[in-house]
Structure 1
Amino acid sequence: MHIDQAILNKVNEWLTPTFDEATQKEIIEMMTSAPKDLEESFYKNLEFGTGGMRGIMGVGTNRINKYTLGKNTQGLSDYLHKSFPNEQLKVAIAYDCRHNSDTLAKVVADVFSANGIHVYLFSDMRPTPELSFAVRYLKCHAGIVLTASHNPPEYNGYKVYWQDGGQLVPPEDGAIIKLIEELKYSAIKFEANENLIEYIDKEVDEAFAKSTIENASFNTPATAKANLKIVYTSLHGTSIKAIPNVLEKAGYTNVQIVPEQAEPNGDFPTVKSPNPEEPEALSMAIALAEKTGADIVVGTDPDSDRLGVAVRDLDGNIKLLNGNQTMVIMTAFLLEQWKRNNKLTGKEFIGSTIVSTPMMLELAVAYDVECKVGLTGFKWIAKFIKDFPELQFIGGGEESFGYMVGDAVRDKDAVAAILLVSEIAAQAKASGSSIYQELMNLYVDFGFYKESLISITKKGIEGANEIKQMMVELRENPLTEINGERVVCIEDYQSSKGKDFMNDEEFEITIPKSNVLIYYLEDGTKICARPSGTEPKIKFYFSVNAPLSNVDEAKEVESDLDNKIANIIAAMKLN
């Protein structure tokens, strides 16, 4: 096959003495036996997306390896020295259960230390939210976590946190990326200064657990905690290092752990995908809950920032909630707690994202707080906390099964969120209700909002081009009607412009630019199209709603809303 000369130039660079023999040998083998793989490995440089940098592990510029991560770390080291002159720089590093995460974390630590930066390196795998907490607890200038979240086993990744504990956002992200792109691989300092690498564990673990319990506990009686039957699974990930301990210290003693999934394992052998967004991922936990009569099922992704929740519906059957539903339940509970304790002063806010449920805006109005809506990714919610110090953050989430309670952790945090949802379940059960009943009550008050997501995977070079073309088509030939409903507004976050067709007005979008299109229909339906920043996918998000006069009509209304979403998907020819 023909390989573009620009790709061959990159390949030839990787065959120089800057790169070790093992790397060169693997490249030479690919040149003869797998030229297509060679092309995929070098046709572009891995880029920072919504959740940092993720990719398949292997040799090449488009892969996760010691050189691509070394280059990131060298660029970040240079930027830290430039940003904080004459300071003793400190960074914290954590890693998850994935293959090579521990060795890649040590490579990153080596490069930082070689640049004179003091490194706090966790002695074993830890949840991502604990790294966010550790950055502020240890007064670090930055933090790194080696994780690919819920991606398949062949992936790994590199998330960068700033001194506020949140992920990189403008302007730091652009400046750091520019430095990294200008760097030559030969400039990476790999020779560690072991005197600058300090291993951390128990002290930070205990501080993290204490902070979590303080932030996510709400005076639940001990009897209510003891009566709640919880089934928990870590899906072979890092949350096993924190959640059982936090739940026990918080007083939840009736916790069953799915034994087959308790051992950390980068192959994730019992699931197709270690993603609690996928119903299949929690099937073993749900089976255990059915067997033991548990009230609630909770599970996390490998790095413990996402949580899945399944509860008993009004007929007593276990039902998996979606991320919008868990976000609404937790936010409504927090708002009510703040109201009861006379803590709402008009200077508080909740956080959400442009692809999440509009019901968050309804909750904000009802409790007279602000709802700040940002782009996909918790780094934007963390940025709100930093940008508006005069406002107090209550809680916030996004549809992709993430939630943040308060501001001690500045990223989605399944550890605190699982404790919070346990508090809600325990209090509801003690009062003769349930989480599902409370959700239905919210739908009666605010309308039944139903959301759904379709992800279309397009791998490789051709796939990336197909996704690009789909967005081009949606922009150049915008839909004017969908499923018989008129499009009344389109927001294009790439051009930062919106068009209100009802009033024939254009308007500016102040949220940072992103490759997202949102259609609003006459009946209140919202449809978003967004290529993923970390996976070879394009995602379509659907939100529909209808009034619910009483809980007895919930099944019928939900069925109607599900049919409506199915008809929209068919009308857009996405199935």
Structure 2
Amino acid sequence: MSCKTGIPDLDEKIEEWIAWDQNETTCNELKRMVVEQKVDELKAILLKRISFGTAGLRGKMAVGYACMNDLVIVQTAQGLLKHLQKEKLDLLKKNGIVVGYDGRYHSRRWAELTAVIFLNGGYPVKLFSQVTPTPFVPFATKKYKCAAGIMVTASHNPKEDNGYKVYADNSAQIIAPTDKNIQDSILQNLVPLKTSWDTSVLTQSCLLKDPFQEILDDYLKTISEDILSDHKKLNEAVGMTFTYTAMHGVGYFTFQKLCDLIGIKIVPVPEQRDPDPEFPTVKFPNPEEGKSSLDLSFRTANSINSVVILANDPDADRMAIAEKHPNTGEWKVFTGNELGALFGWWLLDCFKLKYPDEPISNVCMLCSTVSSMILRSMSKKEGFTFFDTLTGFKWLANLTLKLEEDNKKVVFAFEEAIGFMCGTRVLDKDGVSAAAHFATMTSYLYSKGQTIAGKLDEIYSVYGHHISCNSYYICHDGEKIKAIFNRIRNFTGPNTYPQDILNGKYKITSVRDLTTGYDNNRPDNKAILPVSASSEMITFQFSNGLVCTLRTSGTEPKIKYYTEICASPSITDKKAIEDTLAEMVDGICQELLQPNENGLITRSTS
């Protein structure tokens, strides 16, 4: 059978793939595509390469260099090994790496291939023997002082995807320029070694250890200790029953054990309790999607008279909450920003109880710049220190480490995409510990005759309404996305941004463009937050206090928008604020993003 298309550079890549790939399934798939002369598809998967960035790798599982498969994983692990040999050799020799994986298709296989490459290099590997929550990997990286941590997961992406997340030796996700250095190292080590495919080393090497039980025990003990003993007693006394969904992921086993330690009772959604790579009951296995992803949770909760739902995403690093209204019976799914406000109040209160003599000025709370600024408003009134960072927990975690070096106490960090870091036990978002803290907070509130929604209203009455509207459009055309943002940057002429929306009704007072480094709110027009030309991110501030950020996703084909009005506590007409926000969001989307003209796909209603 001829494996040629008649296109020299493409045929070279086809021949190369067949020579290198030892996975029969993907090899046969490639050969079939050649026989069927699917030239455009072959060009897309062989002449382009999936890029390693600060989020590691994430993409569709299929044949080709642009996708996730055995060969790409082997090349990635070989490149990562060479990078660590160059940058962290002593630590690599002494403590090696830790590798975890979730319940998706091929996750275990790719974790094992990674382990094989490091073991054959002569370095210690701690490979989890079963699926684990993503937070276990940074936790283990920190505990064992590893040179790196690797988690094979695509988090909440559709079932067709998988990913490869890397943590640095400081247990935080890697940041630039480490990502570029790893990418360069991958490209310099593309030829797979014969030993890279030899999994027999997994049963023979004395350098291989299974950290599962030790990490599970230590994690449970550590997180349990973070919850005050009086609150554990209160959990048992109140006796609330929480509905829990793992969204066909890996969270239930660990969370159930943690709940046993802190006095929380959960009833899992049975259809979604255990890992299932098919995600058969949800179109998108992401609780951030809201009610559309929680249908079975509502059904389970209603059947057992449970009024609060706790949800993790499939790799258990994110957490969502829903509460049933006591009068109407309607379910409210809280946004990440609303949960950030609740966590901020609760964890500050717990810190004061636990450390009554610690100056509040030493306390820090953090959020990403596209998240609600409720923590900033709280800090002005309460006296703790607030910081915001670029989007992504890699920035929050690395700033946390710097603050700890200055003897500051970081008690909470969050991003609006339902990611929460309660304390510094895990330097990443952790949906398991977040669910434990939130369930404890809920027991406390209900013991006082108060609901979660009621407490949120109380927080806003003290610090001012912070009303946000965040969503996205789907766009699979990267060139179209570039054109949209280039139009915004050259709105009325070269290098001119929009000055208002809705025919001048709402004026734009400042623009910060973290793609180009422009910020007209600074004396030199230069942004102080890190700049990345490889992603799109523009923030507009309006004269009425609304802040809007437009950005592209690092892991999905989306244009995201984030908007928030931060009102004074003296403004009590919430409906008027909401109406203004809705009008402005519609104007921003129609005038700047032009979804109809650009064929953007609207997020389905949740």
When the two structures are superposed, what TM-score results if normalisation uses the length of structure 2? 0.88
**5+ residue gaps in structure 2?**
492-496, 596-601
The match for 2:430 is: 413
CA contact (8 A) 1:497 1:506 kept: no
CA contact (8 A) 1:74 1:188 kept: no
**2:231 aligned counterpart, secondary structure:** coil
The match for 1:359 is: 374
The match for 1:157 is: 163
CA contact (8 A) 2:97 2:125 kept: yes
CA shift for structure 1 position 227:
2.7
Q: Distance in 2 between matches of 1:29 and 1:173?
A: 34
CA contact (8 A) 2:372 2:564 kept: yes
Q: Where do residues 37-186 of structure 1 align in structure 2 (5 Å cutoff)? A: 37-86=41-90, 87-186=93-192
Q: Distance in 2 between matches of 1:52 and 1:492?
A: 24
The match for 1:248 is: 260
CA contact (8 A) 2:471 2:560 kept: yes
**1:156 aligned counterpart, secondary structure:** strand
The match for 1:480 is: 499
1:32 aligns with 2:35: yes
**Match among 239, 246, 253 for residue 234 of structure 1:** 246
Q: Where do residues 286-301 of structure 1 align in structure 2 (5 Å cutoff)? A: 286-301=298-313
Distance 1:62 1:3, change over 3 A: farther
**Worse overlay, 317-326 or 188-197:** 188-197
**5+ residue gaps in structure 1?**
none
Distance 1:132 1:293, change over 3 A: same
The match for 2:527 is: 509
The match for 1:533 is: 554
Give the number of aligned pairs.
567
The match for 1:383 is: 398
**Worse overlay, 27-36 or 153-162:** 27-36
Q: Distance in 2 between matches of 1:545 and 1:30?
A: 54
Distance 1:347 1:288, change over 3 A: same
Identity %: 27
The match for 2:419 is: 402
Letter in 2 for 1:325: E
**1:339 aligned counterpart, secondary structure:** helix
- Aligned Cα RMSD in Å? 2.4
The match for 2:494 is: none
CA shift for structure 1 position 289:
2.1
Q: Distance in 1 between matches of 2:229 and 2:527?
A: 38
**Match among 453, 457, 463 for residue 446 of structure 1:** 463
1:468 aligns with 2:482: yes
Distance 1:287 1:557, change over 3 A: farther
1:455 aligns with 2:455: no
Distance 1:395 1:472, change over 3 A: same
**Worse overlay, 149-158 or 310-319:** 310-319
Q: Distance in 2 between matches of 1:559 and 1:155?
A: 38
Q: Distance in 2 between matches of 1:65 and 1:532?
A: 22
Q: Distance in 1 between matches of 2:194 and 2:364?
A: 43
Letter in 2 for 1:13: E
**2:181 aligned counterpart, secondary structure:** helix
When the two structures are superposed, what TM-score results if normalisation uses the length of structure 1? 0.92
CA shift for structure 1 position 118:
0.9
CA shift for structure 1 position 73:
1.1
CA deviations over 1:515-539 (Å, ceiling 9, x no partner): 3111111111111111111112221
The match for 2:320 is: 308
Q: Distance in 2 between matches of 1:468 and 1:12?
A: 34
Higher relative contact order, chain-length normalized (CA < 8 Å, sep 6+): 1
CA contact (8 A) 2:53 2:180 kept: no
Q: Distance in 2 between matches of 1:3 and 1:297?
A: 58
Letter in 1 for 2:299: A
CA contact (8 A) 2:80 2:186 kept: yes
1:426 aligns with 2:443: yes
CA contact (8 A) 2:232 2:440 kept: no
CA shift for structure 1 position 322:
0.5
The match for 1:333 is: 346
Q: Distance in 1 between matches of 2:424 and 2:525?
A: 33
Distance 1:74 1:444, change over 3 A: same
Distance 1:474 1:556, change over 3 A: closer
CA shift for structure 1 position 291:
3.2
Letter in 1 for 2:75: K
Distance 1:548 1:379, change over 3 A: same
Q: Distance in 2 between matches of 1:4 and 1:466?
A: 28
Q: Distance in 2 between matches of 1:320 and 1:90?
A: 42
1:200 aligns with 2:211: yes
